[in-house]
Copies of this chain bind each other. A is one copy, B any other.
Amino acid sequence: MADKKLVEEITSRDVDFAQWYTDVVKKAGLMSYSSIKGFMNYLPAGYAIWENIQRELDRRFKEVGVENCYLPMLIPESLLNKEKDHVEGFAPEVAWVTHGGANQLEERLCVRPTSETLFCELYKSIVQSYRDLPKTYNQWCSVVRWEKTTRPFLRSSEFLWQEGHTAHATGEEAEEFTIKMLNVYADFCREFLAIPVVKGQKTDKEKFAGAQQTYTIETLMHDGKALQSATSHNFGDGFARAFDIQYTDRDNTLKYVHQTSWGMSTRMLGAVIMVHGDDSGLVLPPKVAPVQIMIVPIRQNAEGVLDKVEEVSGELKAAGLRVKCDLTDKSPGFKFAEAEMRGIPLRLEIGPKDIEKGMCVVARRDTGEKKEASLSGIAEFIKNELSQMHSDMLKKAEAFLDSHISDAHDYDEFKKAIEEKPGFVRAMWCGDVSCEEKIKADTTATSRCMPFEQEMIDQKCVCCGKEAKKLVYWGKAY
């Protein structure tokens, strides 16, 4: 990939958002297409973002007692078939292994689309007593779902994710854990990715195949479309009954366990791009950025410049910052554009004149703002800038979200809002799936969630006019 391509003009975000997205993904070197339709190569610049997401999310999981494990990537057809709703939801989109080497297998195996059934099998074998509960396991892996239309990170036939699967003694404990993990995701999005979320419950129509309740965090992209960013499911004892997972309780009676599952995927790379990116390319929130500071020497052949660059770089590294120096023979302007395309949070420029004054120039990727900074105490200065940048990016995203939520009180207003006001539309709903279906048919919008913070903004369902039961966030979605 010639570097030159990286700084070629990209499509403007407001002219053609979909093309802008594809341009950024490619020119920032995040992924490339493989020869199999729907499968992609995660290139180092993209995978490093995922590694940082993994590290931080994994840390947060372990804080609440989650343990990692790894289960097989293949599932026997008979095992997948055990829970009726689940198999109906997934069977149409799985990849089937039929041969091992030259031999046809006695039973087909599917490449896991998700691993509820395998965890059920495992928990059945290792849970006997209330003393064995809870089990709070998680695995990091890839899953395969045969998709017809695909987009980098947002929808592909194989994607990377974590899937947590837990078993609890009671329904209350399972419900509590389901919400706890949803909150882990929500906090992670705000605190690490600078992305605000709407938390709520999915309607029956939109919930996970086999779940009693599905909770979701929904985020809003720059084009006003919603992205389901993580989900947390409470299965009640449905899977436990299908797989016969029972334990002996304190009172010596056999009881079914109650289960949950929850997942977040490489979709979040899409969210980061579409929430924060701009017409110069990617804008990475400082905490998730693989490279936080790019040092660009000005007149790098002048005496002392490279030494100083080396010294500053060492100082920043020693302070725990992720820093790189661009010492190629490209022009500074070219280097600036490249660092911008790749979304590197801060650029630090040092030239002979700066060195004379004991100063350098620090430019912020999100605002474009440039500041002079003293070279003494530069690590502290950079840390403050990065921390300020995170909170500014979050504030900006919050303001965007707030200004893209509108209320609709009747169906005309609703249709107009969906068509003309990109973002979420809040409107009351009667609880009938037929209204959800009509709304989707009329507008392509779907119910994103019933927010935890309920409010009766009207008495009647925005679609059919019958008695309203729930406030719903509606929107077009990825």
CA distance A294 to B93 in the complex (A): 46
Q: Are A118 and B34 in contact (CB under 8 A)?
A: yes
Which residues of the partner chain B approach A111 to less than 8 Å between Cβ atoms? 73, 97, 111
Q: Which of B48, B50, B70, B157 lies in contact with A67, CB distance below 8 A?
A: B48
Name the CB-closest residue of B to A97. B95
Beyond A32-B122, A48-B67, A92-B101, whether A72 also contacts B132 by CB under 8 A is: no
Q: What 1/0 flags go to A156-197 for Cβ under 8 Å of B?
A: 011010000000000000000000000000000000000000
Q: Are B71 and A41 in contact (CB under 8 A)?
A: yes
Interface residues of A in 23-78 (CB under 8 A from B): 32, 34-36, 39-44, 47-48, 50-51, 67-74, 76
Selecting from A123-131, A312-320, A346-354, A389-397, the interface stretch reads: A123-131
A411 at the interface (CB under 8 A from B): no
CA distance A38 to B91 in the complex (A): 24
CA distance A3 to B132 in the complex (A): 9
Main SS at interface, chain A: mixed
Which residues of the partner chain B approach A47 to less than 8 Å between Cβ atoms? 67-70
CA distance A461 to B472 in the complex (A): 82
A400 at the interface (CB under 8 A from B): no
A15 at the interface (CB under 8 A from B): no
CA distance A272 to B35 in the complex (A): 39
Beyond A35-B79, A44-B68, A48-B68, whether A74 also contacts B95 by CB under 8 A is: yes
Q: Are B97 and A101 in contact (CB under 8 A)?
A: no
CA distance A118 to B35 in the complex (A): 9
Beyond A2-B129, A93-B101, A97-B96, whether A72 also contacts B34 by CB under 8 A is: yes
CA distance A76 to B37 in the complex (A): 11
Which residues of the partner chain B approach A443 to less than 8 Å between Cβ atoms? none
Nearest-CB distance from A138 to chain B (Å)?
A: 9
Q: Are B41 and A72 in contact (CB under 8 A)?
A: yes
CA distance A2 to B109 in the complex (A): 31
A363 at the interface (CB under 8 A from B): no
CA distance A141 to B43 in the complex (A): 15
Q: Are A96 and B94 in contact (CB under 8 A)?
A: no
Q: Are A69 and B42 in contact (CB under 8 A)?
A: yes
CA distance A128 to B76 in the complex (A): 44
Interface residues of A in 69-112 (CB under 8 A from B): 69-74, 76, 79, 91-102, 109, 111
Name the CB-closest residue of B to A51. B68
Q: Are A2 and B128 in contact (CB under 8 A)?
A: yes
CA distance A164 to B92 in the complex (A): 35
CA distance A98 to B128 in the complex (A): 39
Interface residues of A in 115-147 (CB under 8 A from B): 118, 121-122, 125-126, 128-129, 131-132, 137, 141-142, 144, 146
**Considering the complex of A and B, which 7 residue pairs feature the smallest CB-CB distances, nearest first?**
A44-B67, A100-B146, A39-B72, A42-B70, A96-B99, A98-B98, A95-B97
Question: 26 A-B contacts, Cβ less than 8 Å apart?
Answer: A2-B128, A32-B125, A34-B71, A36-B72, A36-B76, A39-B72, A41-B69, A41-B70, A41-B71, A41-B118, A42-B69, A42-B70, A44-B68, A47-B70, A48-B68, A51-B68, A72-B158, A73-B73, A73-B158, A74-B144, A74-B158, A95-B109, A97-B97, A97-B98, A98-B98, A98-B99
* With A34-B71, A74-B144 already in contact, 8 other A-B pairs whose C-beta atoms are closer than 8 Å: A1-B126, A2-B129, A3-B131, A36-B72, A41-B122, A44-B137, A74-B158, A141-B142
